[in-house]
């Protein structure tokens, strides 16, 4: 550590910059008789503290020149949370319009905070699914740690959340609540029977008759021959539609009920509870949404947001594919249901869906939740394309090598024939790959392989070089993120 920095910090005469160090002036604050500051050096973050008192004593680290140098690890994050409560994630108790800002690299929150300045958006800075954690070899503790340190570094005191995203089991929910999640997105897709949608009427009836008489009688008394009858939405519920919905969603409703009764309701701290029904083979019929919503309310289940699957294509990292007029009518119906039952609509795979953002803002009356994640990874890749062309070529080549493997995990319609061959593109034109939808998807869905693949000796093929290069151009990455997320916010009428 730079001894001049330590002396200057101790004497409270910090300069604007020091060799090989990145200072975060907004973090320079005090608690009691202890002053504290966050900085980065050679790809790692540290807390500097000076003085005396409980904060100084509780931080783990070594003392040099009277200054304690503490690694930005999990244990010290918990210390920060105690002494600076704004660094700990909280639930969105004010029910503000919110945005999920997943950070696969542990560095994006700095840029997200810059983008959010001047808005009233409630951000979910810590948001990662089990799949994303597995693909990046991270833990949920890592995700919250990274968000908390960025919040401290930037002096962001407006509150942020931590989403245990797309959780499918009670065990995973309990684990992430214990770690500090303030939002649970329950993905009941494994309890949704997508095969029902393709059944012919005769087979459908046969399957329906296999249900108990009590189950059939309950749903028929509740819904058969009735209408949704909501302001701006009146849809008749016929026998065939009811049978399909009961068979498709019945088990998922029961699972949601179990999770709520066993975990969510007894949980003592405020908690945002989202229901995801977007992982289905076809768009969510508004009648299906209505039946699910009414069942949840009748069973006393309170949710914050619900994510239906809208019509059109919500593919990763690119704009919406579909008829915008039809989308407007679709979301209008879903919003009518959500508003009637008292929750907000959530839009998943929301990265870069600029063409529908104005519609989302208008039809939801500015009350919604949008999830983004992969777009932050793509901004990092674009920085590499701009600043480190040789490394970018290696990333791109590896993405091509692993593309078919990645398609087993992500639904995309990528046409690799529309991605120009690497040997035909000059270095100065490499960033254009990030403006090509097919290339964006190629690079988007292969992130885990790019970051985690190793050679026969067990050494990372690309990860270390990638992070070293990104660290070298960190301020440029933050600028990219601020510009890109600000564009999302502008199109959503939030900035």
Q: For residue 458, how many other CB atoms are within 10 A of its CB?
A: 6
365 annotated ligand binder:
no
What is the greatest pairwise CA distance in the chain? 83
State the catalytic residue, choosing from 187, 274, 278, 295: 274
Q: Report the candidate in 44, 43, 47, 57 with the shortest Cα–Cα distance to residue 6.
A: 47
Active site residue 426: no
Which position among 165, 245, 352, 437 bears the catalytic label?
A: 165
The two three-digit tokens of residue 333, written as one number = 């119906």
Q: Has 444 been labeled as part of a binding site?
A: no
Annotation-wise, does 398 bind a ligand? no
Q: Examine the residue annotation and report whether 75 is marked as an active-site residue of this protein.
A: no
Q: d(Cα 54, Cα 83) in Å, to the nearest integer?
A: 9
- Return d(Cα 251, Cα 191) in angstroms, integer: 6
How far apart CA 184 and CA 272 sit, in angstroms, is 6
Of the candidates 268, 221, 283, the one whose C-alpha atom is nearest the C-alpha of residue 246 is 221
Q: Which helix (H) or strand (E) holds 127?
A: strand 126-129
Query: How remote is the C-alpha of 361 from its chain's centroid?
Result: 19
- C-beta of residue 68 within 8 angstroms of C-beta of residue 46: no
Query: Which residue bears the tokens 């105690």?
Result: 82
Let me know: does 201 contact 184? Beta carbons within 8 Å.
Answer: no
Secondary structure element (H or E) that encloses residue 176, with its range: helix 170-179
Residue 121 backbone dihedrals phi, psi, to 5 degrees:
-65, 140
User: Taking the C-alpha atoms of 153, 159, 162 and 165 in order, what is their torsion angle to the nearest 10 degrees?
Assistant: -120
Which residues belong to the annotated binding site for a divalent metal cation?
Answer: 166, 316, 348
Could you give the residue numbers annotated as active site?
A: 165, 274
Which residues belong to the annotated binding site?
Answer: 166, 316, 348
């Amino acid at each position: 550590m730079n001894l001049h920095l330590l002396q200057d910090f101790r004497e409270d005469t910090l300069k604007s910059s020091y060799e090989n160090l990145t200072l975060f002036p907004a973090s320079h604050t005090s608690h009691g008789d202890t002053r504290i500051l966050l900085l980065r050096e050679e790809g790692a973050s540290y807390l500097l503290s000076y003085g005396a008192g409980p904060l100084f004593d509780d931080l783990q680290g070594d003392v040099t020149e009277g200054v304690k140098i503490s690694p930005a690890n999990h244990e010290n994050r918990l210390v920060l949370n105690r002494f600076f409560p704004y660094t700990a994630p909280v639930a969105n108790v004010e029910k503000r319009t919110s945005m999920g800002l997943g950070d696969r690299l542990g560095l994006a929150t700095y840029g997200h905070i810059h983008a959010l300045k001047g808005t009233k958006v409630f951000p979910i800075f810590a948001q990662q699914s089990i799949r994303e954690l597995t693909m990046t070899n991270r833990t949920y503790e890592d995700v919250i740690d990274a968000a908390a340190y960025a919040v401290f570094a930037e002096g962001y005191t407006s509150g942020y959340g931590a989403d245990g995203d797309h959780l499918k089991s009670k065990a995973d929910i309990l684990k992430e609540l214990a770690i500090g999640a303030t939002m649970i997105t329950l993905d009941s897709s494994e309890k949704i029977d997508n095969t029902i949608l393709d059944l012919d009427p005769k087979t459908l009836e046969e399957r329906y008759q296999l249900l108990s008489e009590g189950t059939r009688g309950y749903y028929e008394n509740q819904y058969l021959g009735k209408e949704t009858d909501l302001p701006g939405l009146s849809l008749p519920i016929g026998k065939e539609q009811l049978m399909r919905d009961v068979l498709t969603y019945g088990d998922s409703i029961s699972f949601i009920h179990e999770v709520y009764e066993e975990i969510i309701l007894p949980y003592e701290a405020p908690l945002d509870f989202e229901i995801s029904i977007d992982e289905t083979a076809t768009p969510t019929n508004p009648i299906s949404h209505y039946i699910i919503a009414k069942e949840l309310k009748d069973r006393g289940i309170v949710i914050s947001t619900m994510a239906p699957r809208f019509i059109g294509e919500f593919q990763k990292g690119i704009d919406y594919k579909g008829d915008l007029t039809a989308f407007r009518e679709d979301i209008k119906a879903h919003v009518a249901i959500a508003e009637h039952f008292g929750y907000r609509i959530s839009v998943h795979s929301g990265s870069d869906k600029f063409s529908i953002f104005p519609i989302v803002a208008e039809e939801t009356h500015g009350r919604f939740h949008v999830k983004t994640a992969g777009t932050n990874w793509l901004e990092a890749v674009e920085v590499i394309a701009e600043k480190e062309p040789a490394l970018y070529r290696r990333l791109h080549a590896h993405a091509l090598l692993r593309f078919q493997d990645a398609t087993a995990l992500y639904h995309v319609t990528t046409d690799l024939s529309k991605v120009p061959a690497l040997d035909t593109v000059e270095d100065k034109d490499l960033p254009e790959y990030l403006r090509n939808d097919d290339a964006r998807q190629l690079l988007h869905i292969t992130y885990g392989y790019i970051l985690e693949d190793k050679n026969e000796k067990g050494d990372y093929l690309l990860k270390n070089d990638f992070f070293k290069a990104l660290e070298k151009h960190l301020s440029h990455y933050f600028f990219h993120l601020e510009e890109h997320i600000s564009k999302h916010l502008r199109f959503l009428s939030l900035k």
